[in-house]
């Protein structure tokens, strides 16, 4: 081969390589996950999505990627004030959204009937949604087998961990209750006054609820008779709380938390995050909702700016058999079956309900993904390592909100020392 032919061959090979690289860079992410457009790319229209968030940048990023396939489709997000009470009215109006936020707890309640009745059955095979990429236990199981909503984010209870402190002191993140007690003592011996903290006032996600509710769910899971009695607020059902009340009592006696220090935390969101960012707290109990606010608050903490550290979110081990992963849906999307843009709305949902897009949106929002694979996000990866037998869904167990409230009040009163275990049990069904 002449030198001229060699040069031509090299040049052609280089051009082909550049072309392949360019194609890989411009290929939409969803295409890598298996999404194939089903409609003509020139189709226009609009999709309106309604929710309760003040802003939804993570969803807007999904809009941008969807427009790579359908550049003529306009997508708009609208916040609805007092969302839970107003969405039914909005859906019944003339300017109803095409897609809207829904919640599992609305199902079966008369005041939210409209929110369920307007929803298309997303389990219809003709729609082609990849429901297999979502953890099955957080999919709503309706009486008729339909699926009025799909979870796009999920939630759980756990604790933020300052990974740098554990590494500095040569300690391991606890996996059992005894390890938790031991590591708290070890941190105290090393001069850390508050190895474990959390919001201690009477709120849904107080430290008492966060450490006890997953454990309680494990004690009643698989016992429909117990759940039925608890849901009916039968006074005798208070006895089902005894193992959990004994656990929170032992937890406090083991000195895992200092209530006086915890009482200084003003709320279970901003204040919890900023207190953790002071950098001297190895473990801080909170929910996944609180975790979602950490990234934006790093720049608001002078202490964190001065001394940044690595942190993650892990389950709280309350038994020597390990921690429970309490798996809950956070926010779900429904499609308005009366939408005038139904075909394109379903196309957007088919685009969104893929592992790649759901993971991307969850990571942008800072929430736990609803997909089967949690290893992609180091913040929540520890929950993906919990054995299947220890993964529980309150929705599948079937506990009512009223029953959970009674438990929450009981563990709060026992944890703070306001009531004995027997007094809290005797008050089941009537606690206020």
pLDDT, tens digit, 9 for 90 and up, residues 219-266: 999 999 999 999 999 999 999 999 999 999 999 999 999 999 999 999
Q: What is the per-residue pLDDT for 224?
A: 95
Q: How far apart are CA 374 and CA 359, in angstroms?
A: 8
**Contact between residue 95 and residue 78 where contact means Cβ atoms under 8 Å apart:** no
Element (H, E) at 48: strand 45-51
Q: What is the per-residue pLDDT for 143?
A: 87
Residue 265 contacts by C-beta under 8 Å, 6 or more apart in sequence? 197, 198, 199, 200, 271, 272, 275
Residue 123 contacts by C-beta under 8 Å, 6 or more apart in sequence? 131, 145, 146, 147
Query: Taking residues 293-317, what's their average pLDDT?
Result: 97
CATH match for 30-148+329-374 among 1.10.10.10, 3.40.640.10, 1.10.486.10, 3.40.190.10: 3.40.190.10
Q: How many CB atoms lie within 10 A of CB 52?
A: 17
Residue 30: pLDDT band (50, 70, 90) is very low
Report pLDDT digits (tens) over 193-202. Answer: 999 999 999 8
336 compared with 107, residue with greater pLDDT: 336
Assigned architecture for domain 157-327+393-426? 3-Layer(aba) Sandwich (3.40)
Residue 349 contacts by C-beta under 8 Å, 6 or more apart in sequence? 99, 122, 127, 129, 150, 333, 335
Q: What is the per-residue pLDDT for 257?
A: 95
Query: Taking residues 67-78, what's their average pLDDT?
Result: 96
Residue 50 contacts by C-beta under 8 Å, 6 or more apart in sequence? 77, 78, 79, 80, 87, 90, 97, 99, 100, 101
Q: What is the per-residue pLDDT for 23?
A: 37
Burial 23-35 (b: 16+ CB within 10 A, else e): eeeeebebeebeb
Q: How far apart are CA 82 and CA 370, in angstroms?
A: 25
Residue 33: pLDDT band (50, 70, 90) is low
Q: What is the per-residue pLDDT for 34?
A: 63
Q: How far apart are CA 316 and CA 108, in angstroms?
A: 31
Q: What is the per-residue pLDDT for 202?
A: 81
Share the mean pLDDT of the chain: 91
Residue 114 contacts by C-beta under 8 Å, 6 or more apart in sequence? 87, 88, 89, 91, 92
Query: Taking residues 400-415, what's their average pLDDT?
Result: 95
Same fold, 30-148+329-374 and 157-327+393-426: yes
Strands (E), 189-257: 196-197
Q: Does residue 7 have a pLDDT over 80?
A: no
User: Which of 22-26, 99-103, 274-278, 417-421 has the weakest average pLDDT?
Assistant: 22-26
Residue 427: name the closest of 168, 154, 245, 198 by CA.
245
Strands (E), 181-268: 196-197
Residue 20: pLDDT band (50, 70, 90) is very low
Q: Does residue 384 have a pLDDT over 60?
A: yes
Q: End-to-end distance of the chain based on CA atoms, in angstroms?
A: 91
Q: What is the per-residue pLDDT for 148?
A: 97
Q: Which long-range contacts (CB under 8 A, 24 or more apart) does 338-341 make?
A: 338/96, 338/118, 339/96, 339/97, 339/98, 339/99, 340/98, 341/45, 341/46, 341/47, 341/98
Q: What is the per-residue pLDDT for 326?
A: 96
17: left (phi over 0), alpha (psi -120 to 50) or beta: alpha
Q: What is the per-residue pLDDT for 19?
A: 39
Q: How far apart are CA 337 and CA 121, in angstroms?
A: 8
Local structure of residue 170 (DSSP, 8 states): T
**Contact between residue 210 and residue 316 where contact means Cβ atoms under 8 Å apart:** yes
**Contact between residue 155 and residue 291 where contact means Cβ atoms under 8 Å apart:** no
Residue 352: pLDDT band (50, 70, 90) is very high
* DSSP-based three-state secondary structure for 334: strand
Take residue 249 and report the two structure tokens written for it: 């009592």
Q: What residues does each domain of the chain span? A: 30-148+329-374, 157-327+393-426
* DSSP-based three-state secondary structure for 78: strand
Q: What is the per-residue pLDDT for 404?
A: 94
* DSSP-based three-state secondary structure for 154: strand
How, if at all, do strands 328-335 and 157-162 pair?
unpaired
Residue 269: name the closest of 300, 231, 224, 226 by CA.
300
């Amino acid at each position: 081969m002449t030198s001229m032919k060699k040069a031509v061959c090299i040049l052609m090979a280089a051009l082909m390589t550049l072309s392949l690289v360019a194609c890989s860079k411009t290929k939409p992410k969803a295409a890598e996950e298996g999404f194939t457009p089903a409609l003509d790319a020139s189709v226009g229209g609009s999709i309106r999505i309604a929710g309760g968030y003040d802003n939804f940048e993570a969803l807007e990023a999904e809009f941008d990627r969807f427009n790579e396939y359908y550049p003529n489709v306009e997508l708009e997000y609208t916040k609805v004030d007092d969302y839970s009470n107003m969405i039914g009215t909005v859906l019944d109006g003339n300017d109803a959204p095409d897609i809207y936020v829904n919640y599992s707890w609305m199902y079966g309640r008369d005041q939210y009937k409209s929110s369920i009745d307007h929803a298309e059955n997303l389990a219809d095979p003709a729609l082609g949604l990849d429901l297999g990429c979502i953890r099955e236990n957080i999919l709503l199981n309706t009486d008729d087998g339909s699926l009025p909503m799909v979870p796009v984010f999920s939630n759980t209870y756990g604790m933020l961990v300052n990974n740098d402190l554990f590494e500095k002191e040569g300690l391991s993140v606890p996996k059992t209750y005894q390890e938790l007690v031991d590591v708290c003592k070890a941190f105290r011996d090393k001069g850390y006054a508050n190895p474990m903290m959390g919001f201690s006032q009477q709120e849904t996600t107080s430290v008492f609820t966060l450490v006890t509710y997953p454990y309680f769910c494990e004690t009643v899971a698989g016992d429909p008779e117990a759940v039925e009695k608890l849901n009916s607020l039968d006074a005798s059902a208070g006895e089902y709380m005894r193992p959990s009340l004994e656990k929170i009592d032992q937890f406090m006696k083991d000195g895992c938390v200092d209530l006086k220090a915890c009482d200084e935390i003003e709320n279970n969101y901003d204040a919890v995050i900023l207190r953790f960012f002071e950098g001297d707290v190895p473990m801080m109990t909170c929910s996944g909702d609180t975790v979602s606010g950490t990234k934006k608050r790093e720049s608001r903490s002078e202490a964190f700016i001065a001394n940044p550290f690595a942190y993650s979110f892990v389950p709280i081990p309350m038994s020597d058999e390990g921690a429970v992963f309490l798996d809950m849906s956070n926010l779900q999307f429904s499609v308005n079956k009366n939408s005038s843009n139904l075909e394109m709305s379903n196309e957007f949902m088919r685009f969104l309900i893929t592992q790649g897009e759901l993971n991307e949106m969850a990571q942008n929002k800072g929430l736990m993904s609803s997909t089967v694979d949690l290893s992609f996000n180091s913040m929540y990866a520890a929950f993906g390592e919990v054995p299947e037998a220890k993964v529980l869904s309150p929705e599948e167990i079937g506990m009512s909100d009223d029953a959970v409230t009674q438990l929450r009040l009981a563990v709060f009163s026992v944890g703070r020392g306001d009531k004995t275990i027997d007094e809290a049990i005797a008050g089941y069904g009537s606690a206020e």
